[in-house]
Chains A and B, each alone.
Chain A
Amino acid sequence: MTSTPLKGSDLTAGPLADGTATSVRPRPRRLRRRGRSAPYWFLVPAVLLFAGFTVVPIGYAVWLSLHKVQVKGIGLGKGAREQVWNGIGNYTDVLHDSEFGHSVLRAFGYGLIVIPAMLGLALVFALMLDTPQARSAKFARLAIFLPYAVPGIIAALMWGFLYLPTVSPFYYLLREFNLPQPDLFDGGNLYLSFANIAVWGGTGFNMIVIYTALRSIPQEIYEAARIDGASDLKIALRIKIPIVMPSLVLTFFFSVIATLQVFTEPMALKPLTNGLSSSWSPLMAIYDAAFLRSDIYGASATAVVLALATFALSFTLLRVSDRYTREDRA
């Protein structure tokens, strides 16, 4: 799935906050002193919630990941289980677990299909909506965005139904016209099936992000380009795309993270097929360990590894994109 719009507004708030902070006029001394602690007061609820629902659980997960359960004898009744220190034992298990490595590779393979398709479509739609010739743009914008409003689990169930040969209307048509009927749950097709759901659901959101960036471009630039004899296509390629590049980078960045965390689509389609293992994606492997095998220690270690890897990847991407946009500005 795509990232939530919340994350987007978090990032865009940064430069804005910077801008306003510098423009505040100096105030009388007494006021300023009293005002100095005010920001922290405003921060208290957020910090408390952040600590209570993010920092503490993460800390607990790390603590769990360093422990394991030790069973004594036949392990029945009181005192049969003891939580003991396991050092990095769970971590070496995770890193030696080839199934987990495969799940990460599968997630990347899925991302290779989803990200170009979704962002490409989002960009094309945004550019098309932004041209002066666009008719009923408001309706089209809403129509493209609407699938994003459908909860991921509902979308996955709906598509799952359409993928099943005996109940899908698409397969009915294929049969009627004697066309080949592919098995959408088989091997490589599985990736396409998931990617289709993600693209269907995520394109709208990314399109809105890019479209918003397009609308903020001053009209004078286009006028100047037209006077220079640039066609709409040239304007799109030479002016619009370079200017909205930061938005594209942003949406790409969110999509990569969302790809690593793919969970809803494979989880919802799993009961429909034999071809989907319970550790198909990294998050599924963690869910499986924690809630089906009741191995919260191993699951915590896997979760920490995945979080660190995501963090490292995000950091690298952010650095790269930062350099890119800075060069662009210069």
Chain B
Amino acid sequence: MSIHRHQFSRRSILAGAAAVGLTGTLAACGGSDDDSGKSSGPVKLTYWSWAPNMDKVAAIWNKKNPDITVTVSKQAAGKDIVSKLITAKKAGNAPDLIQVEYQSLPTLVSNDVLADISKYAKSAKSQFAEGLWGMVTLGTDAVYAIPQDSGPLMFFYREDLFKQHNLTVPATWDDFAKTARAAKKAVPNAYLTTFSSNDPGLFAGLAQQAGAKWWTVESGGKWTVGIDDAATKKVTDFWGGLVQEGVIDNQPMYTPAWNNALNKGTHLGWVSAVWAPGVLVSSAPDTKGKWRMAPLPQWSAGESVTGSWGGSSTGVSTDSKHAEAAAKFAAWLNTDPEALAALVKEVAIYPAATKGQSGSVLTTPAFFPNQTDFYDTAAKIAATTAASAWGPNVQVAYDTFSDAFGKATKAKKSAQFDTALATMQSATFTDMKKQGFKVTEA
């Protein structure tokens, strides 16, 4: 290089410093915009949500409440939003309102992203089923979010193909295994469904149904990690056995191949949640009117318990300077009849609020014209949702699930399913211990 470093003059350095100073001032100008709501005029709130059309619901509020304006900022869904929020909190500019999946609540509370809004929102409690409300309080006196939607697990099956091959709709998991074998026998290239390693949420929901408690807080102020508890082991062995036997497919969900299997009928069913019709519309467009929904199979006959897969809540961030206004909006959004109707219609969610589950807004899904009592059945199932127990490092457990169970499903070996569960337990426990949590293993 031909640049002579020693010739760097003082003037240039000063000029450089001036330039830096200038950009500094510019940055300061840009930053001051955010605080404008503090003084006079309407309170301005930003709302991070990944749900489509959420801005249309916010528009209804804005029209009715000129003094509190909510602006929706569309975000990436689920697990991506968590690290983004933690980073935003570190920078001191987390949005006022946040859409949070239930399993991410403890992580965000632990990172001091979510404010306790019990002062403003305690009255909303009566609007929700006890299990749902428990998820937003984390079993404490605080309230960290207002439940928005829920995803009770159900069993979806191809009514036409079940009839054609004389298959029975399983009431218990034993029946489910029998149906899986019968289906394989009737259509050798087909499966009842798949065990997917790329969505831990379904596995968590199935464990929840079996009575698993993955994270619990003792009264003494100590976490217990019990991912490999008896209930989860039962679920793992069940699916691992069926995959090894070759009667349940092992390919991941949400791939072009999986869509094809649903559309062409080489998957005869799907263990999914209340939002399944929305997925089937795009994944299996040729099968409209051929599906039917039934309650999730039970571990012992006569029981009725389900788990949940997905669902989210609305929280207020600790960075918000208008926590009261934000909490007011969160409560309105998830309990007001007009807001609930708009959420169902525009955002296509299944409301968490009890009264939202029985209203006339929930009409039969267009994809299920043959099941006119879809939402009546759904409401009955939703009421049986088992309590869930989330911890402060769900993302580590989920991440380990995908890798460990990915290997096991690929190998189609039941023994490896057990190893995968043990890996999930140890990785989650070790991570909490390393971070300094007071924690023991179950």
Contacts and interface: CB of A to CB of B under 8 A. Distances in A.
A-B interaction: yes
Interface of A: 14, 17-18, 21-22, 36-37, 39-41, 44, 47-48, 52, 69-81, 161, 164-167, 186, 271-279, 288, 290-294
Nearest to B7: A36
Given A36-B9, A48-B20, A293-B395, A76 B435 contact: no
23 contacts: A18-B1, A21-B2, A39-B3, A40-B8, A41-B12, A48-B20, A71-B437, A75-B110, A75-B437, A76-B392, A79-B112, A81-B111, A81-B112, A164-B257, A166-B257, A271-B198, A271-B255, A272-B252, A272-B256, A273-B406, A279-B403, A292-B79, A293-B395
Interface core residue of A79, A274, A291 (most chain B CB under 10 Å):
A274
Contacts of B107: 294
B403 A277 contact: yes
Interface in B1-33: 1-3, 7-9, 11-12, 15-16, 19-20, 23
Contacts of B1: 14, 17-18
Nearest to A291: B83
B250 A274 contact: yes
A186 B251 CA distance: 13
Contact of B110 (A21, A81, A165): A81
Given A18-B2, A274-B410, A293-B399, A78 B112 contact: yes
Interface core residue of A47, A77, A78 (most chain B CB under 10 Å):
A77
Nearest to B107: A294
A80 B83 contact: no
A164 B256 contact: yes
A55 B423 CA distance: 39
Contacts of B197: 274
A76 B109 contact: yes
Nearest to A161: B256
Given A164-B257, A272-B252, A294 B395 contact: yes
A245 to B, nearest CB: 24
Contacts of B217: 74
Contacts of A278: 399, 402-403
Interface string B170-211: 000000000000000000000000000110000000000000
Given A14-B1, A36-B7, A39-B3, A275 B83 contact: no
Given A41-B12, A41-B15, A288-B399, A274 B257 contact: no
B425 interface: no
B252 A273 contact: yes
A44 B399 contact: no
B363 interface: no
Nearest to B109: A76
A77 B261 contact: no
B255 A164 contact: yes
B110 A71 contact: yes
Contacts of B409: 274
Given A273-B252, A275-B406, A293 B198 contact: no
Nearest to A78: B112
Contacts of B19: 44, 48
Given A47-B16, A75-B437, A78-B318, A293 B250 contact: no
Contacts of B140: 76
B254 A74 contact: no
A292 B23 CA distance: 33
A320 to B, nearest CB: 21
B2 A71 contact: no
Nearest to A93: B434
B223 interface: yes
Given A81-B112, A274-B410, A275-B406, A71 B435 contact: yes
B292 interface: no
A272 B112 CA distance: 35
B86 interface: yes
A165 B8 CA distance: 63
B407 interface: yes
A44 B15 contact: yes
B83 A292 contact: yes
Contacts of A47: 16
A273 B194 CA distance: 13
B264 to A, nearest CB: 8
A38 to B, nearest CB: 10
Interface in B38-89: 79-80, 82-83, 86
Given A40-B9, A276-B406, 8 more contacts: A74-B438, A271-B252, A275-B407, A277-B407, A291-B80, A291-B83, A293-B395, A293-B431
Nearest to B84: A291
Contacts of B251: 274
Nearest to B217: A74
Nearest to B110: A75
Interface string B255-297: 1110011000010000000000000000000000000000000
A159 B146 CA distance: 43
Contacts of B100: none
Given A41-B15, A278-B399, A77 B256 contact: no
B138 interface: yes
A78 B256 CA distance: 44
B407 A73 contact: no
B3 A293 contact: no
Contacts of B7: 36
A79 B110 CA distance: 9
Contacts of A72: 436
Top 7 nearest A-B pairs (CB, nearest first) are A71-B436, A274-B406, A40-B12, A274-B410, A164-B257, A166-B257, A21-B2
A164 B435 CA distance: 40
B11 A167 contact: no
Nearest to B111: A81
B396 interface: yes
Interface core residue of A21, A71, A80 (most chain B CB under 10 Å):
A71
B302 interface: no
Nearest to A273: B252
Contacts of A294: 82-83, 86, 107, 111, 395
B399 to A, nearest CB: 5
Contact of B2 (A17, A40, A164, A275): A17
Interface in B339-367: none
A166 B111 CA distance: 44
A291 B409 CA distance: 25
Contacts of B437: 71, 73-75
Interface core residue of A44, A75, A80, A167 (most chain B CB under 10 Å):
A75
Contacts of A71: 110, 435-437
Contacts of A276: 406
Given A76-B140, A271-B198, A167 B395 contact: no
